[in-house]
Amino acid sequence: MDNLGQSLRDAIKKIANASHVDQKLIKEVVRDVQRALLQADVNVKLVLSMTKELESRALTEKPPAGMSSREHVIRIVYEELVKILGKPKEIPAKPQRILMVGLYGQGKTTTTGKIGRDLQKRGMKVGLVAADVHRPAAYDQLSQIGKKLNIPVFGDPKEKNAVKIAKRALKEFQGFDVVIFDTSGRHALEDDLIREIEDVAKTVDAEQKILVLDAQTGQQAGPQAKAFHEAVGLTGVVITKLDGTAKGGGALSAVAETGAPICYIGVGEHLEDIERFDPDRFISRLLGMGDIKSLIEAASEVMDEEKAEEAARKMMSGRFTLKEMYDQMEMLQGMGPLKKIAAMMPGLSDKLKDQDMEATQERLRRFRVIMDSMTEQELEDPRLIKSSRVVRIARGSGTSPKEVRELLKQYNMSKRAMKGFMGNRKMRRQLMKQFKGADLASKEG
């Protein structure tokens, strides 16, 4: 399971959901990230230096203009994770031997074909070698791939010695630019199979030694990569099956453990389903940045079209109770196009300036608490709330009668403002246009 991705996403969500970012939250999130990476067997030293950097940046750097502190801290986590992956490495289009290694079923044979195809397209004369002598159908599988790509394949299903196959292949493919060796899947703890890959590696003396890693590999990725690294000295990693649901958190451990960069990702079963590795995109996906973005947007009360229409309908109907006021205030803050409307509304405009957002939020929290102590009837018809009820509501909500009256005063002001506003035809038309505006769902600037 991809625990790393999940726990990193949880840490990020903590920031996205926070009402505000403070030192305590940052320290907590740094600890979460640290724990997540350590549990995924990412090298301890690396984790400590990464999280130290993360903490110091998050605590000291000011968010750039237009970015909330939430987004800013998430951005820093993201950047520091991208740093771990380092620069991607491209396998150059030049004469070389490439050795593919990895556990069972990770996609070695498929990736052998994919890389062969890529280098062939880049002008190389390529040969593929079926050096998997353990799985009976391995030769046939690679032969079929070779046929599809029009790339020659060397192998001998009767030969059970991988080193002998490798030697014969080197002779067979003399004069070829690139020779790619597909090898048997093996467990890093199987000594005899590890010895076999060491021998094949010595024989082939490959420029590229590529670990093929299934995106689903979680915590095991670190130790596995390390074992292969010790056996053959990895120069690159390919993460496969990123077209599935797995986010590939293990990649981070594999790269951190071996220092071998990721060169490609596999994104499907077909031979053209291979892409150059893009660290930014990879980490975005690992962290679920798409979701995070919407989380942040939801947190800053950006309203979707449906909600806008509902609000417009209510406003047009002239209905305006405490509930509507609360909803409205909540909607109005942090929204682009509606902020413009708010600016036109007396009584609301002064509450909605950016620098007042925090205060408004706090005010809304108080209002919510107070309103939770009101009856349904009172919410629908605030005129019912006379002084004895004010006292009861204040007591019930742990606030003061003064605060309750403040809420009522705010309500009466808004109601008056709303009435005047709705009585003005020009303004009403403008409001309707705003509500229907195509850019309504998008956050302004």
Ligand X SMILES: Nc1nc2c(ncn2[C@@H]2O[C@H](COP(=O)(O)OP(=O)(O)OP(=O)(O)O)[C@@H](O)[C@H]2O)c(=O)[nH]1
**Interface residues with Mg ion (CB under 5 A)?**
108-109
**Which residues does 380 contact at the CB level (< 8 Å), separation at least 6?**
321, 322, 323
Q: Which of 192, 241, 257, 232 is nearest to 43 (CA)?
A: 257
Q: Which of 419, 371, 415, 414 is nearest to 396 (CA)?
A: 371
Instruction: Compute the least distance from the CB of residue 99 to ligand X, in Å.
Output: 13
- Report what 266 binds from ligand X, Mg ion, none; CB cut-off 5-8 Å by kind: ligand X
- Report what 346 binds from ligand X, Mg ion, none; CB cut-off 5-8 Å by kind: none
Q: Which strand (E) or helix (H) includes residue 178?
A: strand 178-183
**Strands of 217-292, DSSP E:** 236-240, 262-266, 274-276
3-state secondary structure 86-138: CCCCCCCCCCEEEEEECCCCCCHHHHHHHHHHHHHHCCCCEEEEEECCCCCCH
- Report what 104 binds from Mg ion, ligand X, none; CB cut-off 5-8 Å by kind: ligand X
Looking at beta carbons only, is 105 or 318 nearer to Mg ion? 105
Instruction: Compute the least distance from the CB of residue 183 to ligand X, in Å.
Output: 8
Looking at beta carbons only, is 110 or 253 nearer to ligand X? 110
Looking at beta carbons only, is 163 or 441 nearer to ligand X? 163
Looking at beta carbons only, is 109 or 410 nearer to Mg ion? 109
Q: Which strand (E) or helix (H) includes residue 306?
A: helix 305-316
Looking at beta carbons only, is 270 or 353 nearer to ligand X? 270
The beta-carbon contacts of 165-173 under 8 Å, at least 24 apart in sequence, are: 165/129, 165/130, 165/131, 165/133, 166/129, 166/131, 166/200, 166/203, 166/204, 167/203, 169/127, 169/129, 169/131, 170/97, 170/203, 170/204, 172/127, 173/127, 173/129
178-183 and 262-266 strand pairing? unpaired
| Residues 91 and 127: beta-carbon distance below 8 Å | no
Looking at beta carbons only, is 109 or 414 nearer to Mg ion? 109
Instruction: Compute the least distance from the CB of residue 8 to ligand X, in Å.
Output: 22
Instruction: Compute the least distance from the CB of residue 201 to ligand X, in Å.
Output: 17
Instruction: Compute the least distance from the CB of residue 182 to Mg ion, in Å.
Output: 6
- Report what 226 binds from ligand X, Mg ion, none; CB cut-off 5-8 Å by kind: none
- Report what 259 binds from Mg ion, ligand X, none; CB cut-off 5-8 Å by kind: none
Binding site for ligand X (CB under 6 A): 102, 104-110, 132, 135, 138, 185, 212, 240-241, 243-244, 266-269, 273
Instruction: Compute the least distance from the CB of residue 210 to ligand X, in Å.
Output: 12
User: Around Cβ 185, how many Cβ atoms within 10 Å?
Assistant: 19
Looking at beta carbons only, is 243 or 439 nearer to ligand X? 243
What Rg do the C-alpha atoms of the chain give, in angstroms?
Answer: 31
Instruction: Compute the least distance from the CB of residue 299 to ligand X, in Å.
Output: 35
Q: Which residue is nearest to Mg ion (CB)?
A: 109
- Report what 107 binds from Mg ion, ligand X, none; CB cut-off 5-8 Å by kind: ligand X
Distance CA 395, CA 376 (A): 17
Looking at beta carbons only, is 159 or 273 nearer to ligand X? 273
| Residues 41 and 253: beta-carbon distance below 8 Å | yes
Handedness of CA 238, 240, 243, 247 (dihedral sign): negative
Instruction: Compute the least distance from the CB of residue 289 to ligand X, in Å.
Output: 22
- Report what 305 binds from ligand X, Mg ion, none; CB cut-off 5-8 Å by kind: none
- Report what 398 binds from ligand X, Mg ion, none; CB cut-off 5-8 Å by kind: none
Looking at beta carbons only, is 76 or 103 nearer to ligand X? 103
Q: Which residue is nearest to ligand X (CB)?
A: 185
- Name 275's bridge partners: 265
Distance CA 236, CA 243 (A): 20
- Report what 241 binds from ligand X, Mg ion, none; CB cut-off 5-8 Å by kind: ligand X
Instruction: Compute the least distance from the CB of residue 265 to Mg ion, in Å.
Output: 18
126-131 and 178-183 strand pairing? parallel
